[in-house]
Amino acid sequence: MVLKRQPEAGDILQGTLDLLILRTLVMGPAHGHTIAQVIERTSENALEIEEGSLYPALHRLEDRGWLVSEWGLSENNRRAKFYQLTAKGRKELDAASSRWRRMTRAIGLILGDIPGEAKEEA
């Protein structure tokens, strides 16, 4: 009897996190810690990366052939695993970011200005 598996934690965000990782690596190879820092800093700390789910995502992307990895020396002179975008990953990034833009635009159109909505930064 095959029991249905619980949805994995972070499944909802998975697509988004993948997109952010791919985007970050456009700037060049980086190891996990750098990737997390770059995403947090670039988003002006609005997005806090759950580091625990960063590594599963990296491994998943590598299995799909969007990234390749290699052990090397980091800026701190420590061993670290550097990830680099592949051509396939680059193509996926383009496709995913345009999907993302279409979707946010669509959601934005629907939301518009909601009457009577309290301003967020009160």
Joined together, the tokens standing for residue 34 give 């750098």
Q: Which of 11, 41, 59, 84 binds other proteins (CB under 8 A)?
A: 59
Helix axes 32-42 and 11-25, enclosed angle (nearest 10): 100
Binding residues with other proteins: total (CB under 8 A): 28
Interface stretch with other proteins, choices 14-22, 79-87, 93-101, 108-116 (CB under 8 A): 79-87
Measured from the CB atom, the residue of 79 and 119 that comes closer to other proteins is 79
Contacting range for other proteins; rule: CB under 8 A; set: 12-20, 51-59, 86-94, 110-118: 51-59
Residue 60 near other proteins by CB under 8 A: yes
* 7-36 footprint of other proteins as x/- string (CB under 8 A): -xx---------------------xxxx--
Give, in order, the Cα–Cα distances in Å from 110 to each of 20, 75, 99, 104, 107. Answer: 24, 46, 17, 10, 5
Residue 22 Cβ, how far from other proteins at the closest point, in Å? 17
Report the C-alpha gap between 6 and 9 in whole angstroms: 9
The burial of 69, by beta-carbon neighbours within 10 Å (0-12 exposed, 13-18 middle, 19 or more buried), is given as middle
> Cβ distance 37 to 30 under 8 Å?
no
DSSP character at residue 46: S
Q: Which residues here bind other proteins, judged by CB under 8 A?
A: 1-3, 5, 8-9, 31-34, 37, 50-53, 55-56, 59-60, 63-65, 74, 76, 78-81
